[in-house]
A and B are shown apart, each in its own frame.
Chain A
Amino acid sequence: MKNTIRKHNFWGATTLFIFCIGISFCQAQPLSVDVSADKTTLAVNQQLMLTVDLSGEGAQSVQPPQLPDMEEFLSFLGSGGSSQNIQVINGRMSITRSFSYYYLAKKEGQFTIPSLEVLYKGNSYRSKPIQITVAGQAQQPAQSPSQPSPTDQEAASDEELYVRAIVDKRTIYQNEPVVVTFRIYTQVAVASYSITKAPDTAGFWAEEFEMQGQPQTREEVINGRKYIVADLKRTALFPASSGSKEIGPMTLTCDVRQRRSRRSRDIFDSFFDDPFFNPTVKKTISSLPVKLNVLPLPAENRPPSFSGAVGDYNLSASLDKSSVTTNEAITLRIKISGTGNINLLPNPNVAIPPDFEQYEPKVTQSIARSGATISGEKTFEYVLVPRFPGQQRIKPATFSFFNPRKKTYETLSSPQFEVNVAKGREDKIVVGAGLSKEEVRLVGQDIRFIKLSSTDLRQKGKEFYNSYLFAILLALPLLAVAVAFGSVKRQEQLAGNKAYARSRRANRLAQKQLSKARALQNEKTQKEFYAEISGALLGFAANKLDLEAAGIISDELERLLRKRNLDNDLIENYIELIRTCDYQRFAPATTGREEMSLFYQKANQAIIQLEKAL
């Protein structure tokens, strides 16, 4: 830009000089405004020069016209100054003032540069609009140099001046740096340059290398042509993710000293042909985008402590004190140094025991940007305050990274530190520092006093709830309920069911009568004996079957017994005994004692059998 300013001053002086000569020749001539473009078809990122020519009598006095806003399509690069042409033909002088402006085509499409309006003495003078067509991407200089433009405004061909992006490798791992160098090749004199568009490095972490002062130039021969070569910019790029990545083009605008064509050989031109006065022309050049293949970090053998660091590092750790009292701070310093993305280096895995109060680590880093790669060191300072006494152990801090050179993961670890924490002088209230106010107030109080007597000292484990006594006390009432229930039921049955009661009493009554009969076992009381036996047999059956004993006869009894589905022999035997009794009672045949005893046995047996059967 400095150049441009100087140019303006120069043209200003020239204008003044010419003005002094030509002031007296002023003749009325209509003002004409003419706008011309150096080309009407161009590509994106190519430069366009607009020239505004003012001629006529008003040309000298009007203000340079304001150019319309065309930011949508063209970005204004700068004005190229002005020139003045005075022609004297047949004593008539004509003055032409020219203003040039440089633009860069921004996007594709067709558009019109609107007509320019200049006001002079109340009249407005207009230029013709110009149709401009912007085609696609500009062809890249290194790839296919286009034919040098025939117009003398072309500062240098694409072959004569270009910039390239040079990478040190094209296949890299994620987070592994790639160094990209932007190098300018020129066969023309470049007065100055400015980077108009920095390379698009989205998806990369960029770390710029320091360049000392002016770019160092050297000569290089490429394809038989000698070039001046200079490195303009060097950047280490760390791809943040894997996949196919692209480093965007960098665009430069160069001021190129113009070699003037000798079309009009007049006195002024030869005067201005001096290199010092050579005007510069802007030329925009872009580097080609560079494709990179970014490999993901291998999944196998990835240590659990790995958190993304790639490079080559060393780890050192130190602890300033190994013997402290509680609440005295100690500092754990972990330094990681090496090559890689120091800025984004993750914290090492430090396992601080929970008994330490721990603060966020203080991180300091220094990065060297002048060597072949980005290197540096990062220091993590952990301030630890032990809260509780005891032998505390700080487990080794670990740091894992991927070494792209060896293509392996590496894990560094610090030594283990032992800290001997002695009890500080603080009393208990400080220990409870984490308590709420209310709790602290409580701590100030004392515990309640001891109990002065103990009434129930008893053997351990001998508890009432698991003693036999407890079980008995639970079981006994249940037993009592069972007994009470049983007796109540029995009473109810005895009271309420006559038949049942008779049946229960039958055996007892029969036995009573039988024992009476036994006492009558002799010839004299033969009748009474049989009567008693008969009574026992009939009474027993009647009681069992709940019949009226008085009116019962053996036939009816037999019928009732048969209804009960009893054993036939048993019934016949029983009835036979009753009939024998009747026979002996009413038509007695003398029977002996033995016979009576045998009969008694038979009757007794029959009653027992019937009792069982019923």
Chain B
Amino acid sequence: MVLLIGTLLSLAVAPRAEVDQAVVLFHKGVEAYQQTEYQNAVSDFESALSLGYESAELYYNLGNAYFKVNDIGKCILNYERAKKLSPGDKDISYNLQLAQLYVVDKIVVPPQHFIGRAIEVMAHTLSKNQLALILVFFHIIWVSALILRMLIRRAGVKRYAKGIFATFLVLFLFTSVIFAYRLRDDLRNRQGIILAEKIEVQSSPAGDATEVFALHQGAKVNLHGQSGDYYQISLPDGKVGWLLRSSLEII
């Protein structure tokens, strides 16, 4: 079943020629990186992205290249994007953690309730695509078991099908909850990475507003709303303010 979905997925992928070009750029970038020409690697990976293609590896490599040219803001931005596509990847998590040490702002995240943390972990160890695939998988199994149970009259088969049906229906419902949570979370909690070297966060979206606090390159903020040229942001520790839209990029 998963194989089938995989082939269906690959059918959704765009024309071959453009993909090839992106793959060529990707390998060109890898080569430049290996020869420590990090600036070239950055531009190769960036142009692969500008063709409209993405993958966790591409973002991860670009993040690495930015790290080497000392652009911590863009480095973290790309690691975060890579992590979004492939949350379980250990390399991405490790490098992101390392890059975050260079961020000036140390934001203390208040501890979460353990149930909330468990849901958070489950919702974020897999990408949305992976979650969706698992969801379809469970769905098809419980439906198949149900149909078998209905159509076949032999008592043994029926009992067996009933067990499978119940188990996978529960699994399906559980995954649905997590998937819905994740969709809602991603819709609501848009996050951004500060790219400016230093930005003053203001109390209101106006040029002459008072500075509440300052943020530096690489800091991760939650976005809430926008007004004119400003985003309303908050930090995990509860600080709230407004800053210029040009100073950050959404993950």
Give residues in A with beta carbon < 8 Å to B.
353-355, 387-390, 428, 431-432, 434-435, 439, 442-443, 445, 447-460, 462-465, 467, 469-470, 473-474, 477-478, 480-481, 484-485, 488
Q: Given A459-B13, A477-B143, A488-B151, is A451 in contact with B91 using a C-beta cutoff of 8 Å?
A: yes
A35–B53 Cα distance when bound, in Å, is 117
B132 lies within 8 A of A470 (CB): yes
B195 within 8 A of A: no
A387–B105 Cα distance when bound, in Å, is 12
B30 within 8 A of A: yes
Residues of A within 8 A of B131 (CB): 465
Q: Given A450-B33, A473-B140, is A457 in contact with B102 using a C-beta cutoff of 8 Å?
A: no
**8 A-B pairs with the lowest CB-CB distances in the bound complex, closest first:** A477-B143, A465-B132, A454-B57, A451-B57, A450-B61, A465-B128, A447-B95, A464-B129
Residues of B within 8 A of A451 (CB): 30, 57, 60-61, 91
B5 within 8 A of A: yes
Give A434's nearest chain B residue, CB to CB: B106
B147 lies within 8 A of A457 (CB): no
Give B143's nearest chain A residue, CB to CB: A477
A481–B61 Cα distance when bound, in Å, is 46
Q: Given A388-B216, A442-B101, A465-B128, is A456 in contact with B55 using a C-beta cutoff of 8 Å?
A: yes
Residues of B within 8 A of A432 (CB): 101-102
Give B133's nearest chain A residue, CB to CB: A464
Residues of A within 8 A of B151 (CB): 484, 488
Q: Size band of the B side of the interface? A: 35 or more
Residues of A within 8 A of B19 (CB): 457
B197 within 8 A of A: yes
A450 lies within 8 A of B54 (CB): no
A432–B146 Cα distance when bound, in Å, is 59
A448–B94 Cα distance when bound, in Å, is 8
Residues of B within 8 A of A454 (CB): 23, 26, 55-58
**Chain A nearest CB, measured from B109 CB (Å):** 16
**Chain A nearest CB, measured from B76 CB (Å):** 12
Q: Given A452-B30, A464-B132, A464-B133, is A473 in contact with B139 using a C-beta cutoff of 8 Å?
A: yes
Residues of B within 8 A of A470 (CB): 132, 136
B207 within 8 A of A: no
**Chain A nearest CB, measured from B59 CB (Å):** 10
A388 lies within 8 A of B198 (CB): yes
Q: Which listed residue (A355, A457, A469, A474) contacts B139, Cβ 8 A?
A: A474
A329–B140 Cα distance when bound, in Å, is 68
Residues of A within 8 A of B57 (CB): 451, 453-455
B12 within 8 A of A: yes
Give A432's nearest chain B residue, CB to CB: B101
Residues of A within 8 A of B214 (CB): 353-355
**Chain B nearest CB, measured from A479 CB (Å):** 9
Residues of B within 8 A of A449 (CB): 64
**Chain B nearest CB, measured from A549 CB (Å):** 33
A442–B23 Cα distance when bound, in Å, is 33
Q: Which listed residue (A453, A473, A478, A484) contacts B150, Cβ 8 A?
A: A484
**8 A Cβ contacts from B55-73 to A:** 55-58, 60-61, 64-65, 67
Q: Which listed residue (A390, A439, A448, A480) contacts B101, Cβ 8 A?
A: A439
Residues of B within 8 A of A431 (CB): 102, 104
B143 lies within 8 A of A481 (CB): yes
Q: Given A463-B128, A465-B128, A478-B143, is A389 in contact with B55 using a C-beta cutoff of 8 Å?
A: no
Q: Given A454-B55, A457-B53, A457-B58, is A447 in contact with B99 using a C-beta cutoff of 8 Å?
A: yes
Between A and B, 27 residue pairs with Cβ closer than 8 Å are A354-B213, A354-B214, A355-B198, A387-B104, A432-B101, A432-B102, A443-B98, A447-B64, A448-B64, A448-B95, A450-B60, A451-B30, A451-B61, A452-B30, A454-B23, A454-B56, A457-B54, A457-B58, A458-B53, A458-B54, A459-B52, A460-B52, A462-B14, A465-B129, A481-B146, A481-B147, A488-B151
Residues of B within 8 A of A355 (CB): 198, 214
Give A483's nearest chain B residue, CB to CB: B147
Residues of A within 8 A of B61 (CB): 450-451
Q: Which listed residue (A353, A389, A435, A462) contacts B197, Cβ 8 A?
A: A389
Residues of B within 8 A of A447 (CB): 64, 67, 94-95, 98-99
